[in-house]
């Protein structure tokens, strides 16, 4: 007769995992989760930062365009100072160079320009420069048209980050 072999004795240790093996697998999974979380989180926050930078640039561009098209001969110095405060580089140089002549015309014609509506959109940019387009509708009055007329201005503004604020360094009227 053949001798019976206990079932347990003939089985290989197939299903048994050592505590050390469990720790190694758990540590590997933890490292993998951390790497995935870091890369996905970095991408998420990078995208959010770019979106916020674009939104800030659009808001600044809109305000700068409004400042540029808002004028009142009775307080022209304050109005033009706002434009200068929001400008830098080439635009600031050109605006400063032409400012005395501009003030004379504004005062002589008793010009008043009040913005009624503005729209702005982001075109392109990076962390320290941006291009936005802005449309402005302003009510303009002067000695020739004292009742006022509506004028529409379309501008492309090149912005430069200066510290925590955006400043215009280029302004072009576009059709």
Considering the chain, what is the average pLDDT of its residues?
Answer: 86
Dihedral sign, Cα of residue 71, residue 65, residue 169, residue 50: positive
Q: 18 in helix, strand or coil?
A: coil
Higher pLDDT, 66 or 14: 66
Is a pLDDT exceeding 60 seen at residue 6?
A: no
Average of pLDDT values for 22-37? Answer: 73
pLDDT at position 84: 96
The pLDDT value recorded for residue 7 is 55
pLDDT at 49 over 70: no
The pLDDT of residue 67 is above 70:
yes
In this model, does residue 113 exceed pLDDT 80?
yes
DSSP 8-state code for residue 87: B
CA–CA dist 104, 84 (Å, integer): 17
Classify residue 163 by its DSSP letter.
T
State how far the Cα of 152 lies from the Cα of 139, in Å rounded to an integer. Answer: 9
In a domain, 48, yes or no: no
Tell me, yes or no, whether 12 lies in a domain. Answer: no
Residue 87 lies in a domain: yes
pLDDT of 77: 96
In a domain, 62, yes or no: yes
Q: Considering the chain, what percentage of its residues have pLDDT values greater than 90?
A: 66
| pLDDT band, residue 70 (cuts 50/70/90) | very high
> pTM score, two decimals?
0.71
How confident is the model over 106-127, as a mean pLDDT? 95
Distance between CA atoms of residues 37 and 43, nearest Å: 10
Q: What is the mean pLDDT of residues 46-60?
A: 79
- Considering the domain boundaries, does residue 15 fall inside one? no
135 in any annotated domain: yes
CB 150 within 8 A of CB 137: yes
pLDDT band at 99 (very low <50, low <70, confident <90, very high): very high
In the chain, the number of structural domains is 1
Could you tell me the CATH number of the domain that includes residue 137?
3.10.450.540
160-165: which pairs have CB atoms within 8 A and are 24 or more residues apart?
A: 160/88, 160/89, 160/128, 160/129, 161/127, 161/128, 161/129, 162/88, 165/60
Residue 160 lies in a domain: yes
The pLDDT score that the predictor gives to residue 28 is: 75
- What are the start-end ranges of the H helices in the chain? 7-10, 19-69, 76-85, 89-108
Instruction: Report the pLDDT value the prediction gives residue 148, as an integer from 0 to 100.
Output: 92
3-state secondary structure of 13: coil
Q: Quote the domain boundaries for residue 122.
A: 54-173
Provide the CA 134 distance to its chain's centre, in angstroms: 14
Q: Which two tokens stand for residue 48?
A: 């959010």
Q: Which of 86, 80, 48 is nearest to 64 (CA)?
A: 86
Q: Residue 127: inside a domain, yes or no?
A: yes
């Amino acid at each position: 007769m053949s001798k019976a072999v206990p079932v347990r004795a003939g089985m290989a240790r197939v299903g048994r995992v050592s505590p050390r093996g469990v720790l190694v697998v758990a540590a590997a999974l933890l490292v993998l989760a951390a790497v995935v979380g870091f890369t996905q989180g970095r991408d998420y926050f990078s995208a959010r930062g770019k979106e916020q930078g674009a939104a800030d640039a659009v808001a600044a561009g809109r305000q700068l365009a409004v400042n540029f098209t808002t004028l009142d001969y009775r307080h022209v110095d304050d109005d033009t100072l706002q434009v200068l405060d929001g400008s830098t580089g080439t635009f600031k140089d050109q605006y400063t160079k032409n400012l005395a002549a501009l003030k004379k015309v504004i005062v002589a014609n008793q010009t008043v320009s009040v913005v009624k509506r503005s729209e702005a959109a982001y075109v392109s940019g990076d962390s320290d420069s941006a291009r936005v387009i802005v449309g402005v509708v302003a009510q303009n009055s002067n000695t020739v048209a004292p009742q006022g007329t509506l004028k529409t201005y379309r501008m492309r503004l090149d912005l430069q980050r200066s510290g925590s604020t955006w400043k215009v360094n280029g302004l072009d009227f576009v059709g």
